[in-house]
Chains A and B, each alone.
Chain A
Amino acid sequence: GQQLNQSPQSMFIQEGEDVSMNCTSSSIFNTWLWYKQDPGEGPVLLIALYKAGELTSNGRLTAQFGITRKDSFLNISASIPSDVGIYFCAGNGGATNKLIFGTGTLLAVQP
C-alpha cells in the first residue's frame, strides 16, 4: 500500500535544540496532518494543514503544507524533555478522512 516517506527515522538531541522533520509523497495530497504518539498511547493530533503553502503554529510547533502538495515539514523549537515520542505525518489525497501515515520519527531529548 501507499506510504509516506518520513525522515529522519530517529533524532537524539539536547534539551533546548530545535528539531525539523519532513514527509514526502509521490502523489498530491489535499491534507497534511502531524500526530505525536507517547509510549503506550494512541496518536494525538498536533497540527492540521488543509491548503498548499499553509504555515500553521501550535505553541513551539510549526508545520507547513508544501507548495507542490507533495510534502510537509514539522519544526519544534526549544525542545523540552516532554517532546519525547514518535511523530507521524499523515496525508489524504481524496475527499474523505481515510489517512495514509508516514513511518514515524522517534525523538529523544536529553535534559
Chain B
Amino acid sequence: NAGVTQTPKFQVLKTGQSMTLQCAQDMNHEYMSWYRQDPGMGLRLIHYSVGAGITDQGEVPNGYNVSRSTTEDFPLRLLSAAPSQTSVYFCASSYSLAINNEQFFGPGTRLTVL
C-alpha cells in the first residue's frame, strides 16, 4: 500500500489564484481530514469527511472547500488564495470516525501565497 499520498509537495501561488491540493489513500479508510500546520500553532483541522459524499467543517474552514466523491480521494480547494493561507497542509485518514482508530498522515504540501 502507498498509504496516504499528497500532491504537489511544494506550491507557490499569487494572491487570488485558485488551486486544488490532492489527497488519496489506498487503505479503504472511511475517515479523511485536512489539517494545516503553522509555526507555534500545531496542527489545526480544516475539513473532514466520514465517507463518500459526506463532509463537515473543522476548526479553520474559511477559504477552503472540500468534496468526497470517492472513498479514496479527498481534494482541498483554495478558491482565492491569500497570504494567510501560507502553511503546510497535511491530509490524514483512518479506518473510521471511531475514537480508537489511528490516523495516518500524508507527507504534506508546502504552500506559499505571495
Q: How far is the CB of A15 from chain B (nearest CB, A)?
A: 27
**B31 interface hit (Cβ, 8 Å):** yes
A98 touches which of B58, B106, B107 (Cβ 8 Å): B58
**B78 interface hit (Cβ, 8 Å):** no
Contact code string B37-70 (vs A, CB < 8 Å = 1, else 0): 0001111110010000000001110000000000
- Taking a contact as CB atoms under 8 Å apart, the answer to whether B31 and A97 are in contact is yes
Which of A32-52 touch B at CB < 8 Å?
40-45, 48, 50
A-B contact count (CB 8 A): 65
- Taking a contact as CB atoms under 8 Å apart, the answer to whether B101 and A99 are in contact is no
Contact code string B55-91 (vs A, CB < 8 Å = 1, else 0): 0001110000000000000000000000000000010
A1 to B62, CA, bound (A): 13
Quick one: given A41-B108, A42-B90, A42-B108, are A103 and B103 in contact (CB under 8 Å)?
no
Q: How far is the CB of B69 from chain A (nearest CB, A)?
A: 21
A98 to B41, CA, bound (A): 17
**B1 interface hit (Cβ, 8 Å):** no
User: In the complex, which residue of chain B has the Cβ closest to the Cβ of A31?
Assistant: B99
- Taking a contact as CB atoms under 8 Å apart, the answer to whether A97 and B97 are in contact is yes
Quick one: given A97-B94, A103-B42, are A42 and B99 in contact (CB under 8 Å)?
no
Q: How far is the CB of B47 from chain A (nearest CB, A)?
A: 11
**A73 interface hit (Cβ, 8 Å):** no
Of the listed residues B40, B42, B60, B100, the one surrounded by the most CB atoms of chain A closer than 10 A to its CB is B42
A98 to B44, CA, bound (A): 10
A104 to B96, CA, bound (A): 26
Quick one: given A42-B107, A45-B103, are A97 and B98 in contact (CB under 8 Å)?
yes
**A96 interface hit (Cβ, 8 Å):** yes
Q: Which residues of B contact A1 (CB under 8 A)?
A: 44, 59-60
Quick one: given A41-B108, A43-B105, are A101 and B43 in contact (CB under 8 Å)?
yes
Q: Which residues of A contact B24 (CB under 8 A)?
A: none
Q: Which residues of A contact B40 (CB under 8 A)?
A: 103
Which of A1-34 touch B at CB < 8 Å?
1-4, 6, 30-31
